[in-house]
Chains A and B, each alone.
Chain A
Amino acid sequence: MQFFGGSEISPSPPVPTTTGNNAHMMYVFNRNGVCLLYREWNRPLHTLNPQQDHKLMFGLLFSLKSLTAKMDPTSADKGNLGVPQLPGQGCSFHSFRTNTYKLSFMETPSGIKIILVTHPRTGDLREPLKYIYNLYVEYVAKNPLYTPGTSIRCELFNTALDQYVRSIA
């Protein structure tokens, strides 16, 4: 798996695929499963309370990752099902689609997981997720007042994120 060597620090936003606000919500988790950020733009249905929802989402991603690592049809040696894997190790996944939403997923080398939930007919969001990661690096990781592992409260990040997400989905 290749990570983002040589990516620009402040690139111009990638060309928007479609217009209109199709994004439902976004999650950012760190490698311990702590939900650092949860943004919600358009979510009419809440089945659980926020903590339970975040836990369930992290559990789903964790299990789907072990499933894809075990299912990988191109490698012969896959280890046992459910063995914890380092970021970038084993076969991961980048999105799944249901009839009501599409979930795009990215994991960075440091184990930060970025999840964007959009309309099911949204195109490939791998590049936009990398751009969101760059926003995170610029506005959160480089913020001297931010303590790693705590939830993100950076107004500038939220503004930039809202603006960008509106332009992509």
Chain B
Amino acid sequence: MAAIYSLYIINKSGGLIFYKDYGSKGRMDTNDSLRVASLWHSMHAISQQLSPTTGCSGIELLEADTFDLHCFQSLTGTKFFVVCEPGTQHMEALLKAIYELYTDYVLKNPFYEMEMPIRCELFDINLTQAIQKDRVVLLGR
């Protein structure tokens, strides 16, 4: 049973720079994942325009019929979002942990070009570990 279905990272202009699937049915192809990512980028921006009060920073949680989508936006505009089972807890903490891994293993990598797709082996390894750990915690409850 997968608690987390997939993870996306999009750069500040809405381009998908990282996508990983953890066992959702009917896996999306590359084109679809790119489209979905940029669509989310726009929806995030529009939701700020529709706010009834000032200081809105976009959608944090979207509750759909079959999944929850948690989104975290860093100060530089990079967005991280996970698709997980409805009602999954502690996703904010996981997103912050993923952000930390991103700063450590992607941004500090001298060969990484900003805003470009992420291809860093160490990031992949540590990300897998973080998600596994999270799953173990979830299963243990």
Contacts and interface: CB of A to CB of B under 8 A. Distances in A.
A121 interface: no
Nearest to A80: B32
B43 A43 contact: no
Interface string A114-140: 000100000000000000000000000
B62 A101 contact: no
Interface in A12-61: 24-25, 42-45, 47-48, 53, 56-57, 59-60
Interface in B25-49: 25-26, 28, 32, 35-36, 39-40, 42-43, 46-49
Contact of A70 (B6, B36, B43, B56): B36
B5 A73 contact: yes
Interface in A53-97: 53, 56-57, 59-60, 63-64, 66-68, 70-78, 81, 91-97
B10 to A, nearest CB: 13
A84 B8 CA distance: 25
Contacts, number: 125
Contacts of A42: 52
A7 interface: no
Interface of A: 1, 24-25, 42-45, 47-48, 53, 56-57, 59-60, 63-64, 66-68, 70-78, 81, 91-101, 103, 117
Interface of B: 5-6, 24-26, 28, 32, 35-36, 39-40, 42-43, 46-67, 69, 83
